Structure formats: C-alpha cells, structure tokens
Homo-oligomer: A and B are copies of this chain.
Amino acid sequence: MKSQKDLEIGFDVPAKIGMSVEDVQTPALLIDLDAFEANLTRMRQLAAHYKIQLRAHAKMHKSVDVSRRQMEIGGAMGICCQKVSEAEVFARAGFDNILITNQIIDPVKINRMVSFCAPGRRVICCVDDGANVADLSAAASGKGVVLECLVELECGSQRCGVSDMAKLVEIAAAIDSAEGLKFSGLQSYNGRIQHHQSFAERQAAEKNVASVTRQAVDALRKAGLECECVSGGGTGSFAFEAESGIFNEIQCGSYAFMDADYGRIENESGQRFDQAEWQNALFLLTSIVSTAQDGQAVCDAGLKVQSVDSGLPVIYGRKDICYIQCSDEHGVIEDKNNTLSLKDKLMLVPGHCDPTCNLHDWYVGVRGGKVEALWPVSARGKAW
C-alpha cells in the first residue's frame, strides 16, 4: 500500500529523482540514459572518423539539457534550431554557435534574432530571397551586430532553397556586401530522403545532393565567394554528406533518441537502424486503463502525447501485442491472448520523435530502473 505522501508526488512533474520507473506518472516521455549516451558516443566517433563537424539539431528534442550532452559527450561543436523563439531559449542558456536552419522573414522575428547576436556568439540563418537580405542587413546593422547567413540551396527537398545557380550567387554576393551580414556558406539539406528505407535508394538520391552542392560551391568560388560552412545531412543520410568531401558540417538530430520510423530504415548491410546503428533511447511510458473488451486493452497514450504522422508507435519488447488505433487520449492495443491487466505499463517507441517531444513538458531520464534526471523540454511550443 502506498503512503499518502507517495500518492501526492508526481503530478506537476511526472516523476521525482530516485523513484522507480514503475511509479512514473503516465503518459510520460522517458529517456533511457544509457542508450542516449551510447548514441552520442557513437556519433562523436563517426564524426571523428569522417572528419566532419557535428552541429546537432535541437529542433528534435528542444531541450537545453540534451543539447549540452550532445556538446559535452557527443562531440557537437554547435547546434541547429529551426525557429527564432527556439534559438532564443538556447542563446539564453549560453549556447554560442547557433544555426537557424530556416528563412527568417517577419520583421518582429528578425529583430528578435539580431537581439541575441553578440560578440562571442555566432548566430546564423538561412536565406533564399534577395529582398530578405536587405531586411536582415537593416536589422543587424541597426543593432551594430553581425548576423551570419547561409544561402539555402534546393537539393531535392522541394521545399525552401534556390535552384538557379546565378540566383544563388546573386543572393550570396548581396549578403557579402550587406552591412551587418556575413556570407558564411551554404545550407543544403534534403529532408525527403532521410526516411527512405532502402540504403541504395538513399545513396542514389544523395548523389544528386552532393552533385548540386558541389556545383553551388564552385559557382560561388568563381564569383569570389568562399563557403566557410557547407552544412546539411540528417540521421538518415549524414554518412553520404560526410563522404562526399563537399560538406563540412552535418545537422543530425534524431540519432540521439531514434524513433519507430527511423528504426525501420536500413544500413548498407540491410540491417535495421534500430538494430545495428542506433539504440532506441526515447520511450513513451503508458498505462493500461481498460481491459473490458476481450482481445484488446486500452492505454492512456493517444494523439495528445505523440504524433502519428509517421505511423503508429511500436510497443517495445513485445511482438505479441500491437498498438492498432490512436484517438485523442487513448491507444487501442490488440492483445489476442489477453495478456495485459489494468495498471500494466508499456514502453512505446513513438513513430516520429520531433513532434512527439514537442507535446511534452518533461523528459524523465532513467537508468537501471530508477529516475536519474528530470529535464524540461525547454523550447516546447516555441514555434515563432
């Protein structure tokens, strides 16, 4: 029987340090700290092997504590963010090398971004439009700071970025000559190929990324513009960027936690990523709340604690049961042999880590069955 005191903990936060994992309030995001640290160490070793710099993407986890460990344990030399409000959280926490892998267009956002440019802190953003250069320059020079800019190259993402090399050189030259701005190189990231299951498909698509990136670097060089930084690559593709010889930074994020979608993709030997490359370090802890129907159970993890854009979650360590339906607050688990009981806990591997993490306020770091850390999702909801 739990004491009254035990019953009163764990509600404004899902856990307290030292408690058993079984007592964590569900649904909650767990980080398996051993697996997380193993992923960080592996990426540090790979980056060293490829002689490439790691700029770990913080949009995935939005946590100052996770980024700190990516720097300290994982060999990252800086971070990426995706939004100004997100970058601001990291700037306030002392990060001094921040690439915002996005176009910043709105005047309020530009003003806010240059307000945390400072001597000793590199702030870099992406540009794919000539008029934007003038806006960025006016804001940076008005504050007397230097904002670094990468021109974004369209390399297959079919999203942002410039395709035309003459246009690309024109924007780079405009940045180079604009007061308050520094032309720092190229952003060349293809998000579309990260999740192709087949290694050969990713490799083939990546040849185009390397080829257009090389064309862009050459075209800029011809115009007298050297790329100090050529940045791109994600968890599904970074080895290709690293081997291409044209990139000097990779922007991986998901490697630190993994998710069900990345877990399914294959390495060169045809082995799944979650078996041979990276460990599942992120779990959604959930409890069974109903077993009233024969052959199924219902858990307390639905759409409000996970994103299903990349598929339903996988139940970790259980092949006999399957998460088959997700509604706002419930998950239906097919359990043909009625193995599950009320209060049982399961660990789900979310389909897609980035938008899942953004739904939570806390990471519960666990090791050896005990809660070792509680880290806030520092930039949760920072979408501006």
A residues contacting B by CB (< 8 A) are: 2, 4, 6-11, 14, 25-27, 59, 82-83, 85, 102-109, 111-112, 128-129, 131-132, 152, 154, 158-163, 191, 287-293, 296, 298, 300, 303-305, 307-309, 325-330, 332, 342-343, 352, 354-355, 358-361, 380-381, 383-384
Tell me whether A158 and B293 are in contact (CB under 8 A).
yes
Q: Which 5 A-B pairs have the closest CB atoms?
A: A160-B290, A7-B111, A128-B292, A303-B355, A82-B329
Tell me whether A330 and B160 are in contact (CB under 8 A).
yes
A132-B342, A304-B383 known; A11 and B292 CB under 8 Å? no
Tell me whether B105 and A342 are in contact (CB under 8 A).
yes
Partner of A11, one of B103, B161, B384: B384
Tell me whether A328 and B292 are in contact (CB under 8 A).
no
Whole-angstrom distance from the CB of A57 to the nearest CB of chain B?
10
Complex: chain B residue closest to A28, CB-CB: B384
Can you list 18 residue pairs at the A/B interface with Cβ under 8 Å? A2-B108, A4-B111, A11-B108, A11-B384, A25-B106, A25-B384, A27-B383, A105-B289, A128-B290, A131-B342, A154-B292, A159-B290, A159-B325, A159-B332, A160-B293, A304-B355, A308-B309, A359-B381
Tell me whether A162 and B14 are in contact (CB under 8 A).
no
Tell me whether B159 and A129 are in contact (CB under 8 A).
no
Partner of A107, one of B7, B298, B325: B7
Tell me whether B343 and A106 are in contact (CB under 8 A).
yes
Tell me whether B381 and A327 are in contact (CB under 8 A).
no
Tell me whether B26 and A129 are in contact (CB under 8 A).
no
Residue among A59, A83, A327, A383 having the largest count of chain B Cβ atoms under 10 Å = A383
Tell me whether B354 and A303 are in contact (CB under 8 A).
yes
Query: In the bound complex, what is the Cα–Cα distance between A332 and B160 (angstroms)?
Result: 9
Residues on B with C-beta less than 8 A from A25 are 106, 108-109, 384
Query: In the bound complex, what is the Cα–Cα distance between A7 and B106 (angstroms)?
Result: 10
Given A82-B328, A104-B289, A304-B355, 11 new contacts (CB under 8 A): A11-B108, A25-B106, A102-B289, A128-B290, A161-B293, A163-B292, A303-B307, A329-B383, A359-B359, A361-B381, A380-B381
